[in-house]
Amino acid sequence: MQLPKSRRRQKLREKKCQYPGCGKIFFGIHISKYCPEHRQDRYRIRKRTKPEDVNIKNQTFKHNYTEVVTMVMNCALEGCDHQFEVKIYPRQYIYPKYCPEHRNEYKRVRHLQVIGREDLIEQMKLEGESFELESAITTGAHSEDLDVIEDVA
């Protein structure tokens, strides 16, 4: 079977411009939504999201070191006394806030549930951290149940 070498031309139809407040009638192919004037780049509606705050999950450490330095930092999570090492690099100011055991949001929430600090979980929600451990909070799971779950895992 031989295939045609040229493509079929698309039919021009009478269309109505979809730009808010325009409604002009123009000729375009089946997929075109806007008149030639509103196809220009300056009329494009751009939705920009706000950049997330880096200090929610990380910490800013201002320094003027010129070489790589290893530093011992404390975990910022309530009730965690772990210390961890961080390499401080020149011209880099954002470093981890939590120890390796609590860098995961799920593990931070579990830790706060075990020590019984539900108020801090609510505070984390308000600051913008998102996590998927809603069921244990809303069902009112007791700390004994949480320990059993932790022993199984």
Question: Tell me: the pLDDT tens digits for 36-79?
Answer: 999 998 888 788 888 888 888 899 989 999 999 999 999 999 89
Kindly tell me if the per-residue pLDDT of 129 is higher than 70: no
Let me know if residue 3 belongs to a domain.
Answer: no
How many structural domains compose the chain? 3
Kindly tell me if the per-residue pLDDT of 135 is higher than 70: no
Let me know if residue 4 belongs to a domain.
Answer: no
Please give the Cα distance from 149 to 26 (Å, whole number). Answer: 65
Q: Please tell me whether residues 63 and 31 are part of one structural domain.
A: no
Let me know if residue 136 belongs to a domain.
Answer: yes
Q: Please tell me whether residues 62 and 17 are part of one structural domain.
A: no
Average pLDDT, the chain: 81
Q: Please tell me whether residues 120 and 94 are part of one structural domain.
A: no
Q: Please tell me whether residues 82 and 109 are part of one structural domain.
A: no
State which residues form the domain around 30. 13-43
Contacts for 147 with CB less than 8 Å, ≥ 6 apart: 114
Let me know if residue 146 belongs to a domain.
Answer: yes
Of 68, 86, 103, the domain-final residue:
103
Q: What is the CA radius of gyration of the chain?
A: 28
Residue 83 and residue 73 in contact, taking contact as beta carbons nearer than 8 Å: yes
Let me know if residue 2 belongs to a domain.
Answer: no
Let me know if residue 60 belongs to a domain.
Answer: yes
- The predicted structure's pLDDT at residue 128: 61
Q: Please tell me whether residues 110 and 143 are part of one structural domain.
A: yes
**Two structure tokens written together for 90:** 């020149």
